[in-house]
Structure 1
Amino acid sequence: MSLFTLNEVKKTFTIGEVKEEILKGVNLSLREGEVTALVGASGSGKSTLLTIAAGLQSASNGQVIFEGNNLSQMEEEGIRKIRANHFGFIFQFAHLVPFLTVEEQLLLMLDVSESKLKKHEQKSEVNRILQVVGMEHRKQAYPSSLSGGEKQRVAIARAIIHKPKVLFADEPTASLDSKRSKDVMALIREITKTLNITTLVVTHDEEMLVFVDHIIKMSDGLIVQHS
């Protein structure tokens, strides 16, 4: 089932009197329980497309439809609520809060997403998600004591703790070595399937493509290949 649809999405940046068209009319549907990878050279528009789909920036033209809601026509507060409650984010770097333990990182995310769970239920859910990502034994650790791969596992746990419907990952393995990269991508795929999440990943690493269901190649602001 298609959960997310982009129709003729365009993005133009204006610098002085110069206009640069980054996206030139992109059409894309994302399905539940599938991992879709955006690939392409630097400047092809893949990260811009991801951030527009995620509601982190607006399109110049076109529609971004999530569960029947057109994000392109919504006020910022409405988009913020959708991001907080239905979207999860993983970036190249984990961006963990340095003075919070692993457990506290996830509890903070539940607060941000306005979780309706009671306090004791929140702690039980944190334990469950940390087991899913294999980090339950490190829940009292601070980020400074974690390896790069462990930090990304915590970042993934933080991204899914509020049960998002869509997971956005922008170069989630770029800062990791080959083995840890494969471990992280395998985990993202497993979570996508187990929780029936819709996942969109931007990556430049072709070795990671064995973990995805669909590959979309972009060039000069357009989709040039979809497999």
Structure 2
Amino acid sequence: MTIFAAKEVRKTFTNGEVAEEILKGIDLSLHESEITALVGASGSGKSTLLTIAAGLQPTSDGQIVFNGQNMTDMTSEQIRQIRASEFGFVFQAAHLVPFLTVEEQLLLMLDVAGTKLSKKQQKKEVAELLEQVGMDHRKDAYPASLSGGEKQRVAIARAIIHKPKMLFADEPTASLDSKRSKDVMSLIRDLTKTLRITTLMVTHDEEMLSYADHVIAMKDGLVELLPTKKEGTC
């Protein structure tokens, strides 16, 4: 099932009298329960496409369609509501709130998403997800006492606690060593499948591409579908 589509998306930035077209007519479809990885050299347009897809900046032309809705026709408030309730975000740094415990990080996200669950139900949802990501034993810990891998696990849990339809991951393993990177990507893959999330990920790490269902290469503002090699295959 197609959840997201970019249709002839273009983005031009102007510096003084000089205009540079970063995206040159992108067509892209993303599907439920799949991970799509964006790769390419710096300046190829990966981050620009990711932020446009997430509603963080507008297109210059073309359409962004999410769950059958044309986001390019929406007001900024409508887009903000979609980001809060339907999108989840994971970045290179975990960006955890330093004075909140692990449990409190997730409860805050539920509030931001406008949950209608009771406090008791919220705590139950948080406890179940923390167990799923292997962090239930650290629910009362503060970020300063967590390892890099633990922080990313909490960041992933926070990103999906409100059950978003889409997860945007920008270099989610860039700050981790090889083992922790694989652990985090295994977690993202498992959650994408079990919760039927649509994941769009930017990465420079070729080892992480084996966890993706599709790999899209970006070059000179255009995209190309690359063959994939699944994790664990030769």
> TM-score normalised by the shorter chain: which range applies?
over 0.9
Identity of aligned pairs, percent? 72
Distance 1:150 1:34 in 2: 24
AA of the residue aligned to 1:59: T
AA of the residue aligned to 2:137: H
Shift of 1:48: 0.7
Determine whether 1:3 maps to 2:15: no
Counterpart for residue 42 of structure 1 = 42
Question: How is 1:113-152 mapped onto 2 (pairs within 5 angstroms)?
Answer: 113-152=113-152
Question: How is 1:1-227 mapped onto 2 (pairs within 5 angstroms)?
Answer: 1-227=1-227
Distance 1:144 1:19 in 2: 44
Shift of 1:109: 0.1
Secondary structure of 1:150's match?
Answer: helix
Q: Note if contact 2:164-2:197 (Cα within 8 Å) is conserved in structure 1.
A: yes
Secondary structure of 1:120's match?
Answer: helix
AA of the residue aligned to 1:53: A
After superposition, give the CA deviation of every residue in 1:138-191 in whole Å (9 maximum; x if it has no partner): 000000000000000000000000000000000000011111001001100000
Distance 2:69 2:225 in 1: 27
Shift of 1:225: 3.3
C-alpha RMSD of the superposition:
0.7
Distance 1:49 1:87 in 2: 15
Shift of 1:226: 3.9
Q: Note if contact 2:214-2:225 (Cα within 8 Å) is conserved in structure 1.
A: no
Distance 1:22 1:102 in 2: 38
Shift of 1:68: 1.5
Distance 1:115 1:92 in 2: 27
Distance 2:214 2:168 in 1: 15
Structure 2 unmatched ranges of 5 or more: 228-234
Secondary structure of 1:42's match?
Answer: coil
Secondary structure of 1:124's match?
Answer: helix
Distance 1:140 1:224 in 2: 45
After superposition, give the CA deviation of every residue in 1:43-75 in whole Å (9 maximum; x if it has no partner): 110111011000011111000001121111110
AA of the residue aligned to 1:32: E
Structure 1 unmatched ranges of 5 or more: none
What TM-score does the superposition give when structure 1 sets the normalisation length?
Answer: 0.99
Distance 1:101 1:25 in 2: 44
Q: Note if contact 2:33-2:193 (Cα within 8 Å) is conserved in structure 1.
A: yes
Distance 1:158 1:224 in 2: 32
The number of equivalent residue pairs is 227
Q: Note if contact 1:218-1:225 (Cα within 8 Å) is conserved in structure 2.
A: no
Distance 1:215 1:224 in 2: 8
Distance 2:87 2:224 in 1: 27
Distance 2:94 2:18 in 1: 35
AA of the residue aligned to 1:87: F
After superposition, give the CA deviation of every residue in 1:111-152 in whole Å (9 maximum; x if it has no partner): 000001000000000001101110000000000000000000
AA of the residue aligned to 1:176: L
AA of the residue aligned to 2:222: L
